[in-house]
A and B are shown apart, each in its own frame.
Chain A
Amino acid sequence: MTGPVGELFEEYHASLVRMLYRRTGDRDRADEIAQETFARAVASPPRNPRPWLFAVALNLVREQGRTVVRQDRRLVLYRAEQTGHTPAPDEALEREERVAGVRAALDVLTERDREALLLKVEGFSYDEIAATLGLARGAVGTTLARARRRLMEAYRAGEEKKNVAS
């Protein structure tokens, strides 16, 4: 692939799809939104590409509606996170339960906290997170601290609930 958009694709596509998958829980949808995002990059090449691409992609996710997103997340739980390799059944079950727990915990976060955390895990700097989400640079640390704390609280609460039920 050649040209500036080709370079952007090579550099950011995998990361963008991964973040979108974590955000939506649907691999196909992540691919589609990523494709749409790059199509928009063609129409108006960004100056600061990484924050731009991720901001556009997250906007597209939001535009499609929260209801759809949540339905898709649940779908993914039923689809059992299809993967290429086939681990042992108990290993697979444990992994699926863990991922389902993380998704449920991510659902508890506010949109801003969730997106800041997803971007951080993708290796974004605070400046890039601020640019992507339209936050003040000084607010990023506080946002991430809150997101991480709430995620762990929700995750642990889910685990405890599961243990009590079993």
Chain B
Amino acid sequence: MSHLDPGLLHELLDGEIPSTDLAPIQAHLGSCEECRARLEHERQLQSDADGLVAAIELPQVAEQPLSRTPGRTPRLSWVSGLAWAASLILAVGLGYVARGPGSIPAAHQASMVVPESSGARATPATPPQSDTSVPRQAAPAGHLTAPASHDALAQQQKTDTRAEGGSSGTSRREVRDQAAAKAAGARATNQPGAGAIAAAAPAAGRTDDHPSPAAKIADAPPRPTESVTGGAPAPVQPSRNLDNARSTNALVPRNALMATQRLESSGAAGEPITLSDAVRRLGGTLRLIDGLVPLRLELREPYVRVVYPAAQGDLVLQQQLIDGRVVFQIIPPPGFPADSLARLQARVKE
């Protein structure tokens, strides 16, 4: 038998030689001193080389589930100016028709996602109205840099629930669940169930009692994608009030109702579509929720839909190219927490 070549020696060292083929090789090594020496040399080479490559460790990322990636600066463009104008018009319109004695359930509130150039702070879609005892953090923006799973998302929701726990007898989670159940019931009987209507445009205002975004913009660094709720000048009450949830039909403004009906009608599964087709339809970009792994891509004219699995059902990131701009909406499954929805909106990225 001739000497063993380096490839064979590495196969041997890597344990890739079938046991049936080992005998002649071992016999040769037993009788050939040169090959034994080469085997030792290659063993050292294997150990050193693999060790060097393994020494390139993956850099750690921030441990918070929602964190910003350093070094990313949002892009500013004239589009953002148009987006501001568009959102202002939309917000004023929605606010005008939404004004009234009742409220819009959380599942029907419109949330607007600020484009990447905005510096506004994110807030949950259903901020507490009178709870000042629990400091409420704005939903962190940026994208998820750690591998995200729905377990992590669920954990985040649990954390939020704990953080929301106030001194009242009924927990906020219970109220929210009841409200969600009511809202789901209303949908079943005639109420379209849109989650968030998120346009790629900044919101013009805020409906909660947080400091004005303008003040924060001045100090805060720009964030990749952020959201503010409502956007209407008239206060839009969240759906903590179960009675209001019951009378949703009468209170939802007509244009918002049409929007939610459109979303509801697009809730059915669409046709499968390839990634390249989806990107082409959206003018070269596809938005995804950063850190989440999509379940499937589908087309439901005129929308491209990215479907994500959620504990409550499918969560859909629906997008459409309008006048050269991608407008997107997140359609959550029934019962999906509104504050988690706000966080997801902040993580929608191209």
Segment from B57-65, B114-122, B178-186, B324-332 that makes contact with A: B57-65
Verify B58–A21 contact, CB threshold 8 A.
Answer: yes
B149 vs chain A, min Cβ distance (A): 4
Chain B residues whose CB sits within 8 angstroms of the CB of A10 once the complex forms: 149
Q: Knowing A1-B293, A141-B16, say if A99 contacts B10 (CB, 8 Å).
A: no
Instruction: Report the minimum CB–CB distance from A49 to chain B (whole Å).
Output: 13
Q: Which residues of B contact A42 (CB under 8 A)?
A: 293-297
The reply to whether A118 and B14 form a contact with Cβ atoms under 8 Å apart is no
Given contacts A1-B151, A18-B58, A42-B294, 16 further A-B contacts (CB under 8 A): A5-B293, A27-B59, A28-B71, A35-B288, A38-B293, A43-B274, A84-B62, A120-B50, A126-B14, A140-B11, A141-B7, A142-B6, A142-B10, A145-B6, A145-B42, A152-B45
State in angstroms the CA–CA spacing of A64 and B45 once bound together. 32
B residues neighboring A (CB under 8 Å): 5-11, 14, 16, 42, 45-46, 48-50, 52-63, 69-72, 145, 147, 149-151, 272, 274-275, 288, 290, 293-297, 309
Q: Which of A30, A118, A145 has the most CB of B within 10 A?
A: A145
10 A-B pairs within 8 Å (CB atoms) are namely A21-B59, A30-B58, A43-B272, A83-B60, A84-B61, A120-B50, A125-B16, A126-B14, A140-B11, A143-B7
A43 touches B53 (CB 8 A): no
Q: Are the CB atoms of B14 and A81 closer together than 8 Å?
A: no
Given contact pairs A141-B7, A149-B45, A40 touches B293 in the complex (Cβ within 8 A)? no
**A residues near B145, Cβ cutoff 8 Å:** 28, 31
Contact B55 A102 (CB under 8 A): yes
For B53, what are the chain A residues with a Cβ–Cβ distance below 8 Å? 22, 102, 106, 117-118, 121, 151
Q: Please, which residues of chain B bring their CB within 8 A of the CB of A85?
A: 60
Complex CA–CA separation, A160 to B290 (angstroms): 44
In the complex, per-residue mask of A139-156: 1 if CB is within 8 Å of any chain B CB, else 0: 111111111110110010
User: Min CB distance, B263 to chain A, in Å?
Assistant: 22
Compute how far the CA of A79 lies from the CA of B145 in the bound complex, rounded to whole angstroms: 17
Q: A6–B149 contact, CB under 8 A?
A: yes
B54 to chain A, nearest CB (A): 5
Complex: A8 Cα to B240 Cα, angstroms? 39
Are A39 and B275 in contact, CB atoms less than 8 angstroms apart?
Answer: yes
Does chain B have a CB within 8 A of A2? yes
Chain A residues with Cβ under 8 A from B147's Cβ?
9, 13-14, 17
Q: Are A144 and B55 in contact (CB under 8 A)?
A: no
CB atoms of B58 and A27 under 8 A apart: yes
Contact B58 A99 (CB under 8 A): no
In the complex the two chains form, is A102's CB within 8 Å of B293's CB? no
Cα A132 to Cα B147 in complex, Å, equals: 23
List of A residues within 8 angstroms of B9 by Cβ: 141, 145
Q: How far is the CA of A144 from the CA of B48 in the complex (A)?
A: 13
* Chain B residues near A28 (CB-CB < 8 A): 69, 71-72, 145
Interchain CB contact (< 8 A) of A152 among B49, B62, B274, B296: B49
**Complex CA distance for A74 and B60, rounded to whole angstroms:** 19
In the complex, which residues of chain A have a beta carbon less than 8 angstroms from the beta carbon of B288?
Answer: 35, 39
Q: Which of B14, B58, B145, B151 has the most CB of A within 10 A?
A: B58
Residues of chain A contacted by B275 (CB below 8 angstroms): 39-40, 43
Inter-chain contacts of A146 with B (CB < 8 A): 6
Report how far A106 CA is from B7 CA in the complex, Å.
20
Return A127 CB to nearest CB of chain B, in Å. Answer: 9
Is B42's CB under 8 angstroms from A1's CB?
no
Is the C-beta of A82 less than 8 angstroms from some C-beta in chain B?
Answer: yes
Contact between A1 and B61, CB atoms less than 8 A apart:
no
Q: How far is A28 from B46 in the complex, measured between Cα atoms in Å? A: 30
Whether A65 sits at the interface, judged by CB under 8 Å, is no
Name the distance in Å between A31's Cβ and chain B's nearest Cβ: 7
- CB closest chain-A residue, reference B154: A1
> Which A residue sits closest to B48, measured CB to CB?
A152
- Binary flags per residue of A92-115, CB closer than 8 Å to B gives 1, else 0: 000000110011011000000000
B10 touches A145 (CB 8 A): yes
- Residue A89 CB within 8 A of the other chain: no
- What CA separation (Å) do A113 and B79 show in the bound complex? 45
Our pick among B7, B10, B52 for the contact of A102 (Cβ within 8 Å) is B52
In the complex formed, the residue of A with least CB distance to B47 is A148
Q: Looking at the assembled complex, report how far the CB atom of A9 sits from the nearest CB atom of chain B, in whole angstroms.
A: 5
A109 to chain B, nearest CB (A): 10
Chain A residues whose C-beta falls within 8 Å of the C-beta of B14 in the assembled complex: 120, 126, 141, 144
A98 to chain B, nearest CB (A): 6
Quote the shortest CB–CB distance from A158 to chain B (angstroms): 11
What 0/1 pattern do residues 33 to 45 of A give for CB contact below 8 A with B? 0010011101100
